[in-house]
Protein backbone atom coordinates (compact mmCIF):
# COMPACT_ATOMS: atom_id res chain seq x y z
CA UNK A 1 0.00 0.00 0.00
CA UNK A 2 1.40 3.33 -1.02
CA UNK A 3 1.61 5.64 1.92
CA UNK A 4 0.89 9.29 1.67
CA UNK A 5 3.52 11.23 3.47
CA UNK A 6 3.76 14.71 4.70
CA UNK A 7 7.36 15.71 4.37
CA UNK A 8 8.71 17.65 7.27
CA UNK A 9 11.40 20.07 6.28
CA UNK A 10 14.12 18.86 8.50
CA UNK A 11 17.45 19.74 7.09
CA UNK A 12 19.71 20.88 9.86
CA UNK A 13 19.38 24.50 8.82
CA UNK A 14 15.62 24.47 8.58
CA UNK A 15 15.03 22.34 11.60
CA UNK A 16 14.37 25.03 14.15
CA UNK A 17 11.80 26.60 11.86
CA UNK A 18 10.17 23.19 11.37
CA UNK A 19 10.13 22.74 15.12
CA UNK A 20 8.25 25.99 15.56
CA UNK A 21 5.84 25.34 12.75
CA UNK A 22 5.27 21.67 13.51
CA UNK A 23 4.75 19.05 10.82
CA UNK A 24 1.91 20.08 8.52
CA UNK A 25 -1.27 18.08 8.83
CA UNK A 26 -2.83 16.09 6.09
CA UNK A 27 -6.12 17.75 5.48
CA UNK A 28 -5.07 21.31 5.49
CA UNK A 29 -6.80 22.11 8.77
CA UNK A 30 -5.17 24.95 10.61
CA UNK A 31 -3.64 24.35 13.97
CA UNK A 32 -5.69 27.21 15.39
CA UNK A 33 -3.39 28.06 18.22
CA UNK A 34 -5.49 29.29 21.10
CA UNK A 35 -2.62 31.06 22.87
CA UNK A 36 -0.92 30.09 26.08
CA UNK A 37 -2.75 32.54 28.29
CA UNK A 38 -6.16 31.52 27.07
CA UNK A 39 -5.29 27.83 27.40
CA UNK A 40 -3.88 28.25 30.87
CA UNK A 41 -7.02 30.00 32.01
CA UNK A 42 -9.15 27.29 30.45
CA UNK A 43 -10.73 29.64 27.92
CA UNK A 44 -8.92 28.41 24.82
CA UNK A 45 -10.90 27.62 21.70
CA UNK A 46 -11.21 23.92 22.62
CA UNK A 47 -11.29 24.35 26.40
CA UNK A 48 -14.58 22.46 26.68
CA UNK A 49 -13.36 19.49 24.59
CA UNK A 50 -12.22 16.34 26.35
CA UNK A 51 -9.24 14.35 25.09
CA UNK A 52 -8.37 10.83 26.27
CA UNK A 53 -4.82 9.66 25.57
CA UNK A 54 -3.70 6.05 26.08
CA UNK A 55 0.06 5.44 26.13
CA UNK A 56 1.25 1.82 25.93
CA UNK A 57 3.69 2.34 28.79
CA UNK A 58 4.87 5.46 30.63
CA UNK A 59 8.25 3.84 31.33
CA UNK A 60 9.39 4.31 27.72
CA UNK A 61 11.88 7.11 27.05
CA UNK A 62 10.63 7.93 23.57
CA UNK A 63 6.92 7.83 24.46
CA UNK A 64 7.64 10.08 27.44
CA UNK A 65 9.03 12.73 25.08
CA UNK A 66 6.06 12.21 22.78
CA UNK A 67 3.33 12.47 25.44
CA UNK A 68 4.90 15.49 27.15
CA UNK A 69 5.11 17.38 23.86
CA UNK A 70 1.59 16.25 22.91
CA UNK A 71 0.06 17.61 26.11
CA UNK A 72 1.94 20.92 25.81
CA UNK A 73 0.93 21.29 22.18
CA UNK A 74 -2.74 20.51 22.84
CA UNK A 75 -2.76 23.13 25.60
CA UNK A 76 -0.99 25.71 23.45
CA UNK A 77 -3.55 25.12 20.68
CA UNK A 78 -6.50 25.83 22.95
CA UNK A 79 -7.37 22.71 24.97
CA UNK A 80 -7.64 22.94 28.74
CA UNK A 81 -5.09 20.91 30.66
CA UNK A 82 -7.86 19.73 32.98
CA UNK A 83 -9.69 18.14 30.07
CA UNK A 84 -6.71 16.15 28.79
CA UNK A 85 -6.37 12.78 30.49
CA UNK A 86 -3.26 10.71 29.72
CA UNK A 87 -3.19 7.15 31.07
CA UNK A 88 -0.49 4.48 31.38
CA UNK A 89 -1.33 1.12 29.79
CA UNK A 90 1.54 -0.45 31.77
CA UNK A 91 2.33 -2.57 28.71
CA UNK A 92 -0.83 -4.61 29.24
CA UNK A 93 -3.52 -4.69 26.54
CA UNK A 94 -6.35 -5.64 28.93
CA UNK A 95 -5.52 -2.63 31.11
CA UNK A 96 -5.47 -0.36 28.07
CA UNK A 97 -8.74 -1.71 26.70
CA UNK A 98 -10.37 -0.91 30.06
CA UNK A 99 -8.96 2.59 29.91
CA UNK A 100 -10.44 3.05 26.43
CA UNK A 101 -13.80 1.81 27.70
CA UNK A 102 -13.64 4.34 30.54
CA UNK A 103 -12.95 7.17 28.09
CA UNK A 104 -15.99 6.06 26.09
CA UNK A 105 -18.16 6.03 29.21
CA UNK A 106 -16.92 9.52 30.10
CA UNK A 107 -17.93 10.67 26.62
CA UNK A 108 -14.60 12.22 25.61
CA UNK A 109 -14.54 14.09 22.28
CA UNK A 110 -11.51 12.33 20.81
CA UNK A 111 -9.36 9.34 21.81
CA UNK A 112 -5.63 9.05 21.03
CA UNK A 113 -4.19 5.54 21.30
CA UNK A 114 -0.61 4.26 21.35
CA UNK A 115 -1.61 0.59 21.36
CA UNK A 116 0.04 -1.98 23.62
CA UNK A 117 -0.47 -4.52 20.83
CA UNK A 118 -1.00 -3.20 17.32
CA UNK A 119 -2.83 -6.47 16.59
CA UNK A 120 -5.58 -5.32 18.98
CA UNK A 121 -6.30 -2.30 16.78
CA UNK A 122 -9.34 -3.84 15.07
CA UNK A 123 -11.01 -4.49 18.43
CA UNK A 124 -10.12 -1.00 19.67
CA UNK A 125 -11.41 0.63 16.48
CA UNK A 126 -14.69 -1.30 16.77
CA UNK A 127 -15.21 -0.12 20.34
CA UNK A 128 -14.43 3.52 19.66
CA UNK A 129 -16.23 3.92 16.34
CA UNK A 130 -19.36 2.21 17.76
CA UNK A 131 -19.42 5.03 20.32
CA UNK A 132 -19.05 7.57 17.51
CA UNK A 133 -15.82 8.97 18.92
CA UNK A 134 -12.97 9.91 16.56
CA UNK A 135 -9.75 7.98 17.05
CA UNK A 136 -6.10 8.85 16.41
CA UNK A 137 -3.56 6.03 16.60
CA UNK A 138 0.04 7.02 17.28
CA UNK A 139 3.50 5.42 17.13
CA UNK A 140 2.47 1.75 16.69
CA UNK A 141 0.97 1.33 13.27
CA UNK A 142 -1.98 -1.02 12.79
CA UNK A 143 -1.67 -3.34 9.78
CA UNK A 144 -2.74 -2.53 6.23
CA UNK A 145 -6.06 -4.47 6.47
CA UNK A 146 -7.03 -2.49 9.53
CA UNK A 147 -6.15 0.85 7.90
CA UNK A 148 -8.14 -0.14 4.82
CA UNK A 149 -11.26 -0.62 6.99
CA UNK A 150 -11.06 3.02 8.12
CA UNK A 151 -11.11 4.23 4.55
CA UNK A 152 -13.71 1.69 3.36
CA UNK A 153 -16.10 2.65 6.16
CA UNK A 154 -15.27 6.33 6.06
CA UNK A 155 -14.53 6.25 9.77
CA UNK A 156 -12.92 9.09 11.66
CA UNK A 157 -9.82 7.04 12.38
CA UNK A 158 -6.25 7.91 11.45
CA UNK A 159 -2.67 6.96 12.21
CA UNK A 160 0.15 9.42 12.93
CA UNK A 161 3.68 8.08 12.73
CA UNK A 162 6.74 7.43 10.63
CA UNK A 163 7.60 4.65 8.22
CA UNK A 164 10.03 2.47 10.18
CA UNK A 165 11.57 1.11 6.97
CA UNK A 166 13.13 4.54 6.48
CA UNK A 167 14.74 4.49 9.93
CA UNK A 168 16.18 1.02 9.36
CA UNK A 169 17.58 2.04 6.00
CA UNK A 170 19.17 5.14 7.53
CA UNK A 171 20.81 3.06 10.27
CA UNK A 172 22.35 0.83 7.62
CA UNK A 173 23.42 3.83 5.55
CA UNK A 174 25.24 5.34 8.53
CA UNK A 175 27.36 2.19 8.58
CA UNK A 176 27.76 2.05 4.78
CA UNK A 177 28.84 5.71 4.73
CA UNK A 178 31.91 4.72 6.79
CA UNK A 179 33.20 2.54 3.94
CA UNK A 180 33.62 -1.22 3.96
CA UNK A 181 37.38 -1.11 4.62
CA UNK A 182 36.70 0.77 7.84
CA UNK A 183 33.85 -1.40 9.12
CA UNK A 184 35.26 -4.80 8.15
CA UNK A 185 37.69 -4.75 11.05
CA UNK A 186 38.86 -8.34 10.68
CA UNK A 187 39.15 -8.04 6.91
CA UNK A 188 37.24 -11.25 6.16
CA UNK A 189 35.06 -9.56 3.54
CA UNK A 190 31.92 -9.79 5.71
CA UNK A 191 30.37 -7.56 8.32
CA UNK A 192 29.84 -9.40 11.60
CA UNK A 193 26.93 -7.81 13.47
CA UNK A 194 24.58 -8.27 16.38
CA UNK A 195 20.99 -7.05 16.37
CA UNK A 196 19.06 -5.92 19.45
CA UNK A 197 15.37 -5.75 18.66
CA UNK A 198 12.45 -3.86 20.23
CA UNK A 199 9.14 -5.53 21.08
CA UNK A 200 8.55 -8.47 18.71
CA UNK A 201 5.06 -7.66 17.42
CA UNK A 202 5.94 -4.02 16.81
CA UNK A 203 6.33 -3.09 13.17
CA UNK A 204 9.03 -0.52 14.04
CA UNK A 205 11.17 -3.33 15.46
CA UNK A 206 10.52 -5.65 12.52
CA UNK A 207 11.28 -3.08 9.85
CA UNK A 208 14.33 -1.59 11.56
CA UNK A 209 15.79 -5.07 11.95
CA UNK A 210 15.16 -5.93 8.32
CA UNK A 211 15.99 -2.66 6.58
CA UNK A 212 19.18 -1.80 8.50
CA UNK A 213 20.79 -5.01 7.28
CA UNK A 214 19.24 -4.65 3.82
CA UNK A 215 21.01 -1.30 3.39
CA UNK A 216 24.36 -3.05 3.83
CA UNK A 217 23.37 -5.78 1.40
CA UNK A 218 22.08 -3.23 -1.11
CA UNK A 219 25.54 -1.65 -0.99
CA UNK A 220 26.93 -5.04 -2.02
CA UNK A 221 28.28 -5.90 1.45
CA UNK A 222 28.15 -9.45 2.77
CA UNK A 223 26.76 -9.75 6.27
CA UNK A 224 27.10 -12.29 9.03
CA UNK A 225 24.54 -12.16 11.86
CA UNK A 226 26.25 -13.35 15.03
CA UNK A 227 23.33 -12.79 17.36
CA UNK A 228 19.77 -11.42 17.23
CA UNK A 229 18.05 -10.78 20.55
CA UNK A 230 14.87 -9.11 21.79
CA UNK A 231 15.60 -6.18 24.13
CA UNK A 232 12.00 -4.89 24.32
CA UNK A 233 13.14 -1.27 23.78
CA UNK A 234 14.73 -1.33 27.23
CA UNK A 235 18.20 -0.07 28.22
CA UNK A 236 18.92 -2.50 31.07
CA UNK A 237 17.75 -5.51 29.05
CA UNK A 238 19.93 -4.50 26.11
CA UNK A 239 22.92 -3.92 28.35
CA UNK A 240 22.72 -7.51 29.58
CA UNK A 241 22.11 -8.95 26.11
CA UNK A 242 25.03 -7.09 24.56
CA UNK A 243 27.34 -8.05 27.42
CA UNK A 244 26.54 -11.72 26.78
CA UNK A 245 26.76 -11.30 23.04
CA UNK A 246 30.11 -9.54 23.04
CA UNK A 247 31.68 -12.13 25.26
CA UNK A 248 30.37 -14.95 23.03
CA UNK A 249 31.25 -13.06 19.82
CA UNK A 250 34.32 -10.86 20.31
CA UNK A 251 34.58 -10.49 16.53
CA UNK A 252 31.44 -8.30 16.45
CA UNK A 253 31.99 -5.29 14.18
CA UNK A 254 28.59 -3.59 14.32
CA UNK A 255 25.87 -3.42 16.98
CA UNK A 256 22.48 -2.45 15.59
CA UNK A 257 19.88 -1.43 18.19
CA UNK A 258 16.26 -0.77 17.21
CA UNK A 259 16.21 2.28 19.50
CA UNK A 260 18.53 4.58 21.46
CA UNK A 261 17.52 3.36 24.90
CA UNK A 262 18.92 -0.03 23.93
CA UNK A 263 21.94 1.55 22.21
CA UNK A 264 22.76 3.32 25.50
CA UNK A 265 22.66 -0.06 27.24
CA UNK A 266 24.80 -1.55 24.48
CA UNK A 267 27.34 1.25 24.91
CA UNK A 268 27.69 0.47 28.63
CA UNK A 269 28.55 -3.14 27.76
CA UNK A 270 30.83 -2.16 24.88
CA UNK A 271 32.83 0.05 27.25
CA UNK A 272 32.80 -2.58 30.00
CA UNK A 273 34.26 -5.04 27.49
CA UNK A 274 37.12 -2.59 26.87
CA UNK A 275 35.99 -1.83 23.33
CA UNK A 276 35.92 1.63 21.73
CA UNK A 277 33.19 2.78 19.36
CA UNK A 278 34.62 4.22 16.16
CA UNK A 279 37.84 2.28 16.64
CA UNK A 280 37.11 -1.40 17.10
CA UNK A 281 33.29 -1.52 16.92
CA UNK A 282 30.38 0.54 15.50
CA UNK A 283 27.05 1.28 17.19
CA UNK A 284 23.79 2.74 15.86
CA UNK A 285 20.37 3.42 17.41
CA UNK A 286 17.14 5.27 16.57
CA UNK A 287 15.26 8.16 18.25
CA UNK A 288 17.92 10.85 18.88
CA UNK A 289 17.45 10.90 22.64
CA UNK A 290 19.51 13.70 24.20
CA UNK A 291 21.98 11.29 25.75
CA UNK A 292 22.45 9.46 22.46
CA UNK A 293 23.04 12.75 20.61
CA UNK A 294 25.66 13.67 23.19
CA UNK A 295 27.29 10.27 22.65
CA UNK A 296 27.30 10.77 18.88
CA UNK A 297 28.95 14.17 19.36
CA UNK A 298 31.52 12.64 21.71
CA UNK A 299 32.16 9.81 19.21
CA UNK A 300 30.81 7.15 21.59
CA UNK A 301 27.98 6.23 19.23
CA UNK A 302 28.44 5.99 15.46
CA UNK A 303 25.04 7.50 14.76
CA UNK A 304 21.33 7.50 15.38
CA UNK A 305 18.14 8.39 13.51
CA UNK A 306 15.93 11.26 14.66
CA UNK A 307 12.42 9.98 15.38
CA UNK A 308 10.71 13.34 15.34
CA UNK A 309 8.45 13.26 18.40
CA UNK A 310 7.82 16.99 18.03
CA UNK A 311 6.44 16.81 14.51
CA UNK A 312 4.52 13.64 15.33
CA UNK A 313 2.91 15.03 18.47
CA UNK A 314 2.01 18.28 16.70
CA UNK A 315 0.44 16.35 13.84
CA UNK A 316 -1.47 14.34 16.42
CA UNK A 317 -2.95 17.45 18.02
CA UNK A 318 -3.76 18.90 14.60
CA UNK A 319 -5.60 15.67 13.70
CA UNK A 320 -7.47 15.76 17.01
CA UNK A 321 -8.45 19.39 16.37
CA UNK A 322 -9.76 18.54 12.91
CA UNK A 323 -11.93 15.82 14.40
CA UNK A 324 -13.33 17.89 17.28
CA UNK A 325 -14.14 20.68 14.79
CA UNK A 326 -16.14 18.15 12.79
CA UNK A 327 -13.72 17.93 9.86
CA UNK A 328 -11.84 14.88 8.67
CA UNK A 329 -8.25 13.68 8.32
CA UNK A 330 -6.42 11.49 5.86
CA UNK A 331 -6.11 7.98 7.28
CA UNK A 332 -2.30 8.12 7.37
CA UNK A 333 -0.31 11.12 8.55
CA UNK A 334 3.42 10.56 8.14
CA UNK A 335 6.66 12.24 9.00
CA UNK A 336 10.24 11.72 7.86
CA UNK A 337 13.09 10.42 9.96
CA UNK A 338 16.47 12.22 9.87
CA UNK A 339 19.85 10.49 9.70
CA UNK A 340 22.12 11.70 12.52
CA UNK A 341 25.92 11.48 12.44
CA UNK A 342 28.67 13.47 14.11
CA UNK A 343 28.32 16.32 11.59
CA UNK A 344 24.66 17.17 12.36
CA UNK A 345 24.14 15.78 15.89
CA UNK A 346 24.83 19.15 17.53
CA UNK A 347 22.32 21.02 15.37
CA UNK A 348 19.64 18.41 16.11
CA UNK A 349 20.42 18.68 19.81
CA UNK A 350 20.23 22.50 19.66
CA UNK A 351 16.89 22.32 17.87
CA UNK A 352 15.46 20.19 20.69
CA UNK A 353 16.36 22.63 23.45
Binding mask 264-303 for ligand BGC (x = CB under 6 A): ----------------------xx----------------
Residue 230 interacts with ligand BGC (CB under 6 A): yes or no: no
- Residue 280 buriedness (CB in 10 A; 0-12 / 13-18 / 19+): middle
CA atoms of 241 and 256, how far apart (whole Å): 12
Smallest distance, Å, CB 330 to ligand BGC?
Answer: 20
Q: Looking at beta carbons only, is 209 or 307 nearer to ligand BGC?
A: 307
| 314: Cβ contacts below 8 Å, ≥ 6 apart | 22, 23, 31, 69, 73
Residues 22-51 that bind ligand BGC (CB under 6 A): none
CA atoms of 60 and 233, how far apart (whole Å): 8
CA atoms of 193 and 250, how far apart (whole Å): 11
171 three-state secondary structure: helix
Residue 140 interacts with ligand BGC (CB under 6 A): yes or no: yes
CA atoms of 314 and 292, how far apart (whole Å): 23
* Strand boundaries in the chain, DSSP class E: 51-55, 84-88, 110-113, 135-138, 157-162, 190-197, 222-230, 254-257, 282-284, 304-306, 332-335, 338-340
CA atoms of 337 and 305, how far apart (whole Å): 6
Nearest to 339, CA basis, from 290, 297, 284: 284
Count of alpha carbons within 13 angstroms of residue 161, beta-carbon side: 24
Of the residues 117, 139, 239, 252, which one makes contact with ligand BGC according to CB under 6 A: 139
Of the residues 204, 227, 253, 318, which one makes contact with ligand BGC according to CB under 6 A: 204
Q: Which stretch binds ligand BGC (CB under 6 A): 60-68, 98-106, 122-130, 145-153?
A: 60-68
Residues 300-319 that bind ligand BGC (CB under 6 A): 307
Of the residues 18, 63, 136, 263, which one makes contact with ligand BGC according to CB under 6 A: 63
Q: Looking at beta carbons only, is 62 or 159 nearer to ligand BGC?
A: 62
Number of residues that bind ligand BGC (CB under 6 A): 14
Q: Which stretch binds ligand BGC (CB under 6 A): 23-31, 57-65, 148-156, 179-187?
A: 57-65
Residue 136 interacts with ligand BGC (CB under 6 A): yes or no: no
Cα separation of the two ends of the chain: 36
Q: Which stretch binds ligand BGC (CB under 6 A): 45-53, 122-130, 179-187, 198-206?
A: 198-206
Smallest distance, Å, CB 68 to ligand BGC?
Answer: 14
Residue 62 interacts with ligand BGC (CB under 6 A): yes or no: yes
Binding mask 154-193 for ligand BGC (x = CB under 6 A): ----------------------------------------
Point out which residues bind ligand BGC (CB under 6 A): 60, 62-63, 139-140, 198, 202, 204, 233, 259, 261, 286-287, 307
Amino acid sequence: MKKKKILCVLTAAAMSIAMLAGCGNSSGGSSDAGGDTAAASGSGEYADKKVGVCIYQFADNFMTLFRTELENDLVSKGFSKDNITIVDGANDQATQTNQIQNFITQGVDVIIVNPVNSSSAAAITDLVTAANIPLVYINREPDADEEKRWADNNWNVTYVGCDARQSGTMQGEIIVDLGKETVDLNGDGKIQYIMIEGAPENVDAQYRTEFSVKALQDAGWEVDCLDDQVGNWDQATAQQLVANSLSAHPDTEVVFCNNDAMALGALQSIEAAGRTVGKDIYLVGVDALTEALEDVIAGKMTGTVFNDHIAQSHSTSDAAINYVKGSTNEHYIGCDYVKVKSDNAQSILDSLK
